[in-house]
């Protein structure tokens, strides 16, 4: 009886092998998922779930202002010490908000800990640089530029420091610009 | 006078055949490197090699250039003679094994009456090469890989021989040309239908004999870095690589000859049918490599000793009884 069940188990195992081969055989003929980066770019709808480098969220009442109250919770919670926030003398708002992307591990501790939800992940995929200094991002400046670009941009707008790499990817601005004016709004913005 | 003339002619024929076989082995390796990586890519829904040439078609050329230009690094305390002999020993027997294969009705390098015995006897040399490579390179991964290669190769040779023997019983000849000739042109008259169990056992053992995934325990890169050829770089590695693909091609040709009708096809018999069938078997090997995970070593030996060996003996016995009765 034990032998019979062993034989049956092995036959079932053989069947499972066949199922596996059917799956890979089907995948072989299905279209590819890869994007050839310098020539193609990722579709904007696929960027919505991408968690890129940090950006500052827009204010709830005044869309051109940050929500940040300079409480330093993010700077203390950051495992990589990549956030520098300097409070202004007059009010709660920060005067400097530096974010060193070379040290960031995208763990999201700062996003979790922020009491005013002022920090969010951007959908900026094409952040490339040839120098370390260029990757220390001034997020207040970035927010200003996004405010200047339009009321509700979809993904993170063009990076301030990526002028050289932009030459290598001529289409990089295309989908983002296209998405900026059209339907797909940023779910978090 | 007449005799010496014939022997000189046959010698020339043999040399030409050897050169053609070497050309086939190298061309096969180049094509299969590309085909395998593309196949792996498509199965994982990525393009595979893409940047070198249109659709990455020059990738194997770039790879072989890299291998040629690489430094031959010899680690300390290797067994020098065996270390250099092992890749050669892996490569050369495969050359011999291609000679009795009937590619076409007239396209056979060496018409020997006992081609099956020749192939099965010299196929073991590859195993010896793996053992020597692992032993001589003074590396723990090497010796582990060599031990695995021997345990696996010796085990899987037995059901392989028994499966082929069933076809030999049925045909009544050890000549590969006779075996191909005995099968009909129509696909339903090929041996894989009247010997389904032997065909299945042979398919499993050919994967194990060529050390391919899911039975690539001797190389097992996640546990043994590269197994028996860990310490080989440059052309030493390239020879192992070449012989692995040549071994694959050989077992595919044997499979085509024994079970898939050899050079016979529904229309227009000829060597093209042998090649189509052999490369279909190759595609099958690549397909299962990128489908199944590697088995554990005890599972590998259990499959062989508990299932394949009894089944192949049973199959041989049934074949013998049926031949006796009919």
Q: How far is A16 from chain B (nearest CA, A)?
A: 11
- Closest Cβ–Cβ partner in A24, A29, A36 for B290: A24
Sequence ranges of the domains in chain A: 31-181
Whether the pLDDT of residue B313 is over 90: the answer is yes
- Closest Cβ–Cβ partner in A20, A29, A33 for B46: A33
**pLDDT average, residue stretch A140-165:** 61
CB contact under 8 A, B287 and A25: yes
- Closest Cβ–Cβ partner in A10, A25, A33 for B45: A33
Residue B232: which residues within 8 A CB-CB, separation 6 or more?
B87, B133, B137, B240
Count structural domains, chain B: 1
Domain assignment present for residue B222? The answer is yes
In CATH terms, is domain A31-181 a member of 3.30.70.2860?
A: no
Q: Can you give the pLDDT at residue B280?
A: 92
Whether the pLDDT of residue A177 is over 60: the answer is no
The percentage of chain B sitting over the pLDDT mark of 90, rounded to a whole number, equals 16
Q: Do A53 and A129 contact (CB within 8 A), yes or no? A: no
Q: Output the average pLDDT for chain B.
A: 86
Domain assignment present for residue B274? The answer is yes
Domain assignment present for residue B230? The answer is yes
- Write out the residue range of the structural domain in which residue B196 sits: 74-325
Q: Which of A67, A64, A50, A69 is nearest to A187 (CA)?
A: A50
Q: Can you give the pLDDT at residue A165?
A: 40
Domain assignment present for residue B232? The answer is yes
Q: How far is residue B153 CA from its own chain's centroid?
A: 12
Domain assignment present for residue B198? The answer is yes
pLDDT in tens, B148-179: 888 888 888 899 999 999 999 888 888 888 88
Contacting A with CB below 8 Å, chain B residues are 39, 41-47, 50, 287-288, 290-292, 307
Residue B204: which residues within 8 A CB-CB, separation 6 or more?
B159, B303, B308
pLDDT in tens, A20-65: 999 999 999 988 888 887 788 887 777 888 888 888 888 777 777 8
* Structure-block tokens of residue A179: 């998405």
> What is chain B's alpha carbon radius of gyration, rounded to the nearest angstrom?
20
What is the complex's ipTM, to 2 decimals?
0.74
pLDDT in tens, B40-93: 999 998 888 888 888 888 888 888 888 888 888 888 888 888 888 888 888 888
pLDDT in tens, A98-111: 899 888 988 988 99
Higher pLDDT, B110 or B283: B283
* Structure-block tokens of residue B18: 């050897």
Q: Spell out which residues of chain B touch residue A34, defining contact as CB-CB under 8 Å.
A: 45-47
**pLDDT average, residue stretch A61-77:** 84
Please report which confidence band the pLDDT of residue B5 belongs to, taking 50, 70 and 90 as the band edges: low
* Structure-block tokens of residue A143: 């927010």
Evaluate the omega torsion of the peptide bond into residue B192 and state whether it is cis, within 30 degrees of 0.
no
Domain assignment present for residue B37? The answer is no
Q: Do A125 and A165 contact (CB within 8 A), yes or no? A: no
Whether the pLDDT of residue A19 is over 90: the answer is yes
Q: How far is B288 from chain A (nearest CA, A)?
A: 7
């Amino acid at each position: 009886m034990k032998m019979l069940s062993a034989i049956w188990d092995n036959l079932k195992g053989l069947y499972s092998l066949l199922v596996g081969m059917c799956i890979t055989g089907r995948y072989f003929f299905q279209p590819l998922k890869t994007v050839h980066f310098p020539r193609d770019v990722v579709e904007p709808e696929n960027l919505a779930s991408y968690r890129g480098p940090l950006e500052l969220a827009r204010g709830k009442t005044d869309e051109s202002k940050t929500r940040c109250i300079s409480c330093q919770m993010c700077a203390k919670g950051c495992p990589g010490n990549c956030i520098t926030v300097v409070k202004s003398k007059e009010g709660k708002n920060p005067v400097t908000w530096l974010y060193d992307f070379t040290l960031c591990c995208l763990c999201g501790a700062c996003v979790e800990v922020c009491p005013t939800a002022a920090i969010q992940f951007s959908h900026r995929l094409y952040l490339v640089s040839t120098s370390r200094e260029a990757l220390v991002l001034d997020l207040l400046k970035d927010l200003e530029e996004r405010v200047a670009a339009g009321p509700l941009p979809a993904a993170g707008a063009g990076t301030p420091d990526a002028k050289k790499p932009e030459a290598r990817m001529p289409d990089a601005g295309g989908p983002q610009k296209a998405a900026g004016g059209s339907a797909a709004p940023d779910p978090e913005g | 006078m007449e005799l010496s003339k014939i022997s000189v002619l046959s010698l020339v024929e043999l040399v030409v055949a050897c050169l053609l076989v070497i050309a086939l082995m190298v061309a096969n390796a180049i094509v299969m490197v590309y085909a395998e990586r593309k196949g792996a890519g498509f199965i994982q829904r990525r393009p595979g090699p893409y940047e070198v040439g249109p659709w990455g078609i020059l990738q194997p050329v770039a790879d072989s250039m890299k291998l040629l230009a690489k430094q031959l690094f010899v680690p300390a305390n290797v067994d020098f003679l065996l270390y250099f002999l092992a890749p050669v020993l892996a490569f050369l027997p495969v050359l011999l094994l291609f000679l009795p294969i009937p590619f076409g009705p007239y396209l056979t390098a060496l018409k020997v009456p006992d081609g099956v015995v020749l192939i099965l006897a010299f196929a073991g040399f590859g195993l010896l090469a793996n053992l020597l490579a692992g032993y001589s390179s003074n590396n723990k991964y090497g010796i582990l890989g060599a031990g695995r290669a021997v345990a696996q190769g010796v085990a899987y040779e037995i059901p392989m021989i028994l499966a082929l023997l069933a076809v030999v019983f049925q045909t009544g000849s050890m000549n590969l040309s006779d075996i191909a000739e005995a099968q009909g042109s129509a696909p339903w008259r090929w041996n894989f239908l009247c010997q389904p169990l032997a065909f299945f056992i042979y398919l499993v053992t050919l994967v194990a004999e060529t050390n391919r995934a899911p039975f690539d325990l001797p190389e097992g890169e996640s546990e043994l870095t590269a197994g028996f050829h860990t310490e080989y770089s440059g052309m030493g590695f390239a020879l192992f690589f070449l012989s692995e693909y040549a071994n694959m091609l050989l077992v595919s040709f044997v499979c085509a000859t024994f079970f898939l009708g050899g050079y016979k096809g529904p229309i227009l018999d000829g060597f093209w049918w042998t090649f189509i069938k052999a490369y279909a078997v190759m595609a099958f090997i690549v397909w299962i490599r990128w489908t199944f995970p590697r088995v554990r070593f005890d599972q590998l030996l259990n499959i062989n000793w508990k299932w394949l060996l009894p089944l192949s003996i049973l199959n041989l016995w049934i074949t013998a009884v049926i031949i006796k009765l009919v």
